[in-house]
Structure 1
Amino acid sequence: MGPVLFSLSLSRLGLWASGLILALGFLKLMCLLVRRQSLARAMDSFTGPPTHWLFGHALEMQKTGSLDKMVSWAHQFPYAHQLWIGPFQGFLNIYEPDYVKAVYSRGDPKASDVYDFFLPWIGNGLLVLHGPKWFQHRKLLTPAFHYDVLKPYVALFASSTRAMLDKWEEKAREDKSFDIVCDVGHMALDSLMKCTFGKQDGGLGHRESSYYQAVYSLTLMMQQRLEQFLYHNDFIYWLTPHGRRFLRDCQVAHDHTDQVIKERKAALQDEKEQEKIQNRRHLDFLDILLGARDENEIKLSDAELRAEVDTFMFEGHDTTTSAISWFLYCMALYPEHQDRCREEVREILGDRDSFQWDDLSKMTYLTMCIKESFRLYPPVPQVYRQLSKPVNFVDGRSLPAGSLISLHIYALHRNSSVWPQPEVFDPLRFSSENVTGRHPFAFMPFSAGPRNCIGQQFAMNEVKVVTGLCLLRFEFVPDPSRPPIKNLQLVLKSKNGIHLHLKPLGPGSGK
Structure 2
Amino acid sequence: MWFLLIGIIAVLYYSKIFLHFTWQIHKMRGLERPKGSSLIFGHVNLFRQPPEILYKNFKKLGESFYPHYYVRIFNQLNVVVLSPEDCEIFLSTPKHTRKSLLYAIFRRWLRNGLLLSKGEKWQQRRKILTPAFHFSILKEFFVVFNDKADELIDKLENKTGKEIDVIPEFHEFSLQVIVETSMGYKTKMTDNKLRIYLKAIRGMEKLFNQYIVRPWLIYGGIYWFSSYYQEEKEYLHVLHNFTETIIKEKMKSYENHASEDLAIENDETYFGKKRRKMAMLDILLQAHRNGNEIDYKGICEEVDTFTFEGHDTVSTALSFCAMNIANHSEIQEQIVEELNSILEGEERQPTYEDLQKMDLLERCIKESLRLYPSVHLISRKADEDTTLHSGCVVAKGATVLIPIMSVHRNPEIYPHPEKFDPDRFLPENCIGRHPFAYLPFSAGPRNCIGQRFAMMELKIVLSAIIRKFQLVAVDTPDSIEFKMESILRTNGIRVKFIKRV
Pick the TM interval, shorter chain: 0.7 to 0.9
Instruction: Judge conservation of contact 1:268–1:274 (CA < 8 Å) in 2.
Output: no
Q: Secondary structure at the match of 1:44?
A: coil
Instruction: Judge conservation of contact 1:286–1:309 (CA < 8 Å) in 2.
Output: yes
Residue 251 of structure 1: aligned partner: 237
What is the root-mean-square deviation in Å for CA atoms of aligned residues?
3.5
Q: Distance in 2 between matches of 1:479 and 1:232?
A: 40
Tell which deviates more after alignment, 375-384 or 110-119. Answer: 110-119
Structure 1's 463 and 474: CA in aligned 2 closer, same or farther, altered over 3 A?
same
Instruction: Judge conservation of contact 2:28–2:395 (CA < 8 Å) in 1.
Output: no
Tell which deviates more after alignment, 20-29 or 130-139. Answer: 20-29
Residue 377 of structure 2: aligned partner: 382
Number of aligned positions between the proteins: 485
Q: 1:182 aligns with which of 163, 168, 172?
A: 168
- Measured against aligned partners, the alpha-carbon deviations of 1:227-246 in whole angstroms (never above 9, x if no partner) come to 55565467454445543232
Structure 1's 471 and 399: CA in aligned 2 closer, same or farther, altered over 3 A?
same
- Measured against aligned partners, the alpha-carbon deviations of 1:272-330 in whole angstroms (never above 9, x if no partner) come to 86459999975332112222389x95521111111011111111121111111111111
- The 5 Å alignment of 1:335-350 reads 335-350=329-344
1:312 aligns with 2:306: yes
- The 5 Å alignment of 1:79-98 reads 79-84=67-72, 86-98=73-85
Structure 1's 271 and 442: CA in aligned 2 closer, same or farther, altered over 3 A?
closer
Q: Distance in 1 between matches of 2:74 and 2:214?
A: 15
1:432 aligns with 2:427: yes
Q: Distance in 2 between matches of 1:277 and 1:156?
A: 28
> What is the identity, as a one-letter code, of the residue corresponding to 1:455?
G
Over the matched positions of the two proteins, sequence identity in percent amounts to: 30
Q: 2:125 aligns with which of 137, 156, 165?
A: 137
1:115 aligns with 2:107: no
Instruction: Judge conservation of contact 1:155–1:355 (CA < 8 Å) in 2.
Output: no
Instruction: Judge conservation of contact 1:257–1:309 (CA < 8 Å) in 2.
Output: yes
> What is the identity, as a one-letter code, of the residue corresponding to 1:325?
S
Pairwise CA distance, 1:464: 1.1
Residue 75 of structure 1: aligned partner: 63
Q: Distance in 1 between matches of 2:86 and 2:179?
A: 38
TM-score, reference length from structure 1: 0.84
Pairwise CA distance, 1:381: 0.9
Tell which deviates more after alignment, 468-477 or 261-270. Answer: 261-270
Q: Distance in 1 between matches of 2:275 and 2:228?
A: 41
Residue 367 of structure 2: aligned partner: 372
1:99 aligns with 2:86: yes
Instruction: Judge conservation of contact 1:277–1:283 (CA < 8 Å) in 2.
Output: no
- Measured against aligned partners, the alpha-carbon deviations of 1:14-60 in whole angstroms (never above 9, x if no partner) come to xx99x999999999987876665455334221012213413616437
Q: Distance in 1 between matches of 2:494 and 2:204?
A: 24
> What is the identity, as a one-letter code, of the residue corresponding to 1:257?
T
Q: Distance in 2 between matches of 1:262 and 1:502?
A: 40
Q: 2:30 aligns with which of 36, 45, 51?
A: 45
User: Where does the alignment leave 5 or more consecutive residues of structure 2 unmatched?
Assistant: 265-273
- The 5 Å alignment of 1:389-408 reads 389-408=384-403
Q: Distance in 1 between matches of 2:166 and 2:292?
A: 44
> What is the identity, as a one-letter code, of the residue corresponding to 2:321?
F
Pairwise CA distance, 1:386: 0.5
Instruction: Judge conservation of contact 2:42–2:71 (CA < 8 Å) in 1.
Output: no
Structure 1's 62 and 265: CA in aligned 2 closer, same or farther, altered over 3 A?
closer
Tell which deviates more after alignment, 394-403 or 20-29. Answer: 20-29
- The 5 Å alignment of 1:169-248 reads 169-173=157-161, 175=162, 177-202=163-188, 211=197, 214-215=200-201, 217-219=203-205, 221-223=207-209, 225-229=211-215, 232=218, 235-240=221-226, 242-248=228-234
Residue 348 of structure 2: aligned partner: 353
Instruction: Judge conservation of contact 1:67–1:410 (CA < 8 Å) in 2.
Output: no
> What is the identity, as a one-letter code, of the residue corresponding to 1:195?
T
Pairwise CA distance, 1:213: 5.1
Q: Secondary structure at the match of 1:502?
A: strand
Q: Secondary structure at the match of 1:354?
A: coil
Instruction: Judge conservation of contact 1:141–1:292 (CA < 8 Å) in 2.
Output: no
Q: Distance in 2 between matches of 1:117 and 1:493?
A: 18
Q: 1:127 aligns with which of 115, 118, 130?
A: 115
> What is the identity, as a one-letter code, of the residue corresponding to 1:40?
I
Structure 1's 256 and 422: CA in aligned 2 closer, same or farther, altered over 3 A?
closer
Q: Distance in 2 between matches of 1:29 and 1:118?
A: 28
Pairwise CA distance, 1:421: 1.5
Q: Distance in 1 between matches of 2:413 and 2:263?
A: 49
Structure 1's 71 and 248: CA in aligned 2 closer, same or farther, altered over 3 A?
closer
Residue 486 of structure 1: aligned partner: 482
User: Where does the alignment leave 5 or more consecutive residues of structure 1 unmatched?
Assistant: 1-15, 507-511
Tell which deviates more after alignment, 447-456 or 387-396. Answer: 387-396
Pairwise CA distance, 1:88: 3.5
Pairwise CA distance, 1:222: 3.9
> What is the identity, as a one-letter code, of the residue corresponding to 1:475?
Q
Tell which deviates more after alignment, 41-50 or 59-68. Answer: 59-68
Q: Distance in 1 between matches of 2:404 and 2:227?
A: 33
Tell which deviates more after alignment, 385-394 or 20-29. Answer: 20-29
Q: Distance in 1 between matches of 2:173 and 2:119?
A: 35
Q: Distance in 2 between matches of 1:289 and 1:213?
A: 27
Q: Distance in 1 between matches of 2:439 and 2:257?
A: 45
Q: Distance in 1 between matches of 2:354 and 2:78?
A: 43
Residue 261 of structure 1: aligned partner: 247
Q: Secondary structure at the match of 1:65?
A: helix
> What is the identity, as a one-letter code, of the residue corresponding to 1:87?
F
Structure 1's 497 and 211: CA in aligned 2 closer, same or farther, altered over 3 A?
closer
Instruction: Judge conservation of contact 1:267–1:274 (CA < 8 Å) in 2.
Output: no
Instruction: Judge conservation of contact 1:149–1:282 (CA < 8 Å) in 2.
Output: yes
Q: 2:440 aligns with which of 431, 445, 458?
A: 445
TM-score, reference length from structure 2: 0.86
Structure 1's 40 and 356: CA in aligned 2 closer, same or farther, altered over 3 A?
same
Tell which deviates more after alignment, 309-318 or 340-349. Answer: 340-349
Structure 1's 236 and 248: CA in aligned 2 closer, same or farther, altered over 3 A?
same
1:502 aligns with 2:497: yes
Q: Secondary structure at the match of 2:181?
A: helix
Q: Distance in 2 between matches of 1:478 and 1:228?
A: 37
> What is the identity, as a one-letter code, of the residue corresponding to 1:251?
H
> What is the identity, as a one-letter code, of the residue corresponding to 1:434?
N
Structure 1's 257 and 273: CA in aligned 2 closer, same or farther, altered over 3 A?
farther
Instruction: Judge conservation of contact 1:120–1:247 (CA < 8 Å) in 2.
Output: no
Q: Distance in 2 between matches of 1:196 and 1:24?
A: 51
